Structure 1
Amino acid sequence: MRIAIAGASGRMGRMLIEATTRDEGAQLAAALDRPDSPAIGEDACAFLGVKSGVLIRGDVEAALAGADFLIDFTRPEATLAHLDICKRLGVKMIIGTTGFSEAQRAQLAEASKELAIVFAPNMAVGVNAVFKLLDVAARILNSGYDIEVIEAHHRMKVDAPSGTALRMGEVVAGALGRSLTDCAIYGREGHTGERDANTIGFATVRGGDIVGDHTVLFAGIGERVEITHKAASRMPYALGSLRAARWLVDRSSGLYDMQDVLGLR
């Protein structure tokens, strides 16, 4: 698999590069960054103390000419710009970018009619196992339990709640026959009155270098059930992305997520 990595000089980009170079079935074909990045022209593996011969480039179209897949964990605007080029070149995409609006998600869906895409708010296999557990738990604890989603990330994260937290809320709401749009509460302040039992609350923490902690709390009378995932590094996201690429090899179009990749549908 000839893999291109977007955001190559960032923390996630570097983790993806490291995972790709360690995978016997993958080849680092290109490393992309903003044209104004000081990393342009550097060897993509310099941070590992080795030379790969792959230089970080700002010309996306030229770089992708030799790639089969683009793994993209950047920002929505950058991902959508990459999407147009990938569609033109037939480069399949694995997208871990979060913070998309509904209109931007619609652009991904439209492009997937011609291009194979795995798009997931979290590529970690463990997190996707948690999504499945949440579906089961919500169907069992469907009455008499207040539901709260608590997430914590590093101080540099720019969107809130996290894409993973929102997906957890969507899974739980769907299992209960609700729409998250109608029942989500994203902040509480002042005199809020009693809690509406039909809502799903979100609490966001930002600080330090927290990679990603997520807990869904089902609070009943006399008991609490908590389902938690904690990431100690970004490597699980990178390994999941490569697993998604392998799964996507034989697919030419369609919009998928990690539940498809892991056979959890």
Structure 2
Amino acid sequence: MTEMNIAIAGAGGRMGRILIEAVQQADDARLAGAVNHAGAPGIGEDAAAFLGQPAGVIVESDLARGLAGAQYLIDFTRPEGTLEHLAYCAEHGIKLVIGTTGFDEAGKAAIAAAAKKTAIVFSPNFSVGVNVTMKLLEQAAKALSTGYDIEVVEAHHRFKVDAPSGTALKMGEVIADALGRDLKECGVFAREGVTAERDPSSIGFATIRGGDIVGDHTVLFAGIGERIEISHKSSSRVTYAHGALRACRFLADKPTGLFDMYDVLSLNG
């Protein structure tokens, strides 16, 4: 079994620590690097000290030092940080697993360009269950293409900075594509006051933020006399970490290219 040398971005954050623990527990992975932005807590300390089992890997703010021994970088941070890491990894042939959300079109284009130099899995959600849910939504949208109003409802913790979530937007895109629509034209992201009757071709979004909700997503197909709800609820971020490791394994034999979790899970087609 070939061991994967994996670095973690945002090493001091909630998701970063979960990723570090997952790598430490995996039989086929080794923590080879850890990076965080300058001034962040934990810079200069052992990346796995919080586990009580030091890894001998120091959290670095300098990418050259932090990624010196890495074949892969798992990045669940913020767009500005991820784009900086992206440029470095593309230049040095380090494969990337990107779970960061909130990119604008320019950011997405930069990821696509970098994938010509290194292999990347880019997904708004690395949960295996969420991606299976996406496939179910595609099938449901095709079967319920007329007579059903579609609403996407998502809930996350109070610390999340982007809305709707990247997962909710991806769900909307999957549904819109299945219906032959463009989400930029049919998505409705705010309702207030007298909004007139609902446009039957629209896809609505509702966002909830509060407490420590890890991530809940429900898509409602509301018809006359019945409604169908397809939901996924996360109780732990560990599922995202396991999906990210699965993505690293998928990239093992890929020199370049842009992939998503559908590719990793063989859900395309």
1:94 pairs with 2:97: yes
Within the candidate set 213, 227, 230, 2:230 is matched to 227
C-alpha distance in structure 2 between counterparts of 1:119 and 1:235, whole Å: 18
Tell me the percent identity.
Answer: 63
C-alpha distance in structure 1 between counterparts of 2:195 and 2:166, whole Å: 26
C-alpha distance in structure 2 between counterparts of 1:47 and 1:227, whole Å: 37
1:146 pairs with 2:143: no
TM-score, structure 1 normalization: 0.99
- What do you get for the CA RMSD once the two structures are aligned? 0.6
Unpaired runs of 5+ residues, structure 2, are none
C-alpha distance in structure 2 between counterparts of 1:89 and 1:50, whole Å: 30
Report if the CA contact (8 A) 1:184-1:199 is conserved. Answer: yes
1:38 Cα deviation after fit? 2.2
C-alpha distance in structure 2 between counterparts of 1:108 and 1:33, whole Å: 20
C-alpha distance in structure 2 between counterparts of 1:48 and 1:65, whole Å: 23
Report if the CA contact (8 A) 1:76-1:100 is conserved. Answer: yes
C-alpha distance in structure 1 between counterparts of 2:146 and 2:64, whole Å: 52
1:236 pairs with 2:243: no
Report if the CA contact (8 A) 2:217-2:232 is conserved. Answer: yes
Worse-matched range after superposition: 184-193 or 38-47: 38-47
**Could you say which residue in structure 1 is the equivalent of 2:216?**
213
1:54 pairs with 2:41: no
**Could you say which residue in structure 2 is the equivalent of 1:19?**
22
**Could you say which residue in structure 1 is the equivalent of 2:40?**
37
Report if the CA contact (8 A) 1:65-1:89 is conserved. Answer: no
**Could you say which residue in structure 1 is the equivalent of 2:202?**
199
Matches within 5 A, 1:160-199: 160-199=163-202
1:192 Cα deviation after fit? 0.2
Unpaired runs of 5+ residues, structure 1, are none
TM-score, structure 2 normalization: 0.98
Q: 1:14-34 CA deviation, whole Å, 9 max, x = no partner?
A: 000000000000000011111
Residue aligned with 1:264, SS? coil
C-alpha distance in structure 2 between counterparts of 1:88 and 1:65, whole Å: 13
1:69 pairs with 2:48: no
**Could you say which residue in structure 2 is the equivalent of 1:127?**
130
Within the candidate set 109, 112, 116, 1:109 is matched to 112
Q: 1:43-90 CA deviation, whole Å, 9 max, x = no partner?
A: 111111211111111111222121000000000010000011101111
Report if the CA contact (8 A) 2:33-2:68 is conserved. Answer: no
C-alpha distance in structure 2 between counterparts of 1:114 and 1:51, whole Å: 33
| Runs ≥4 residues deviating over 2 A | none
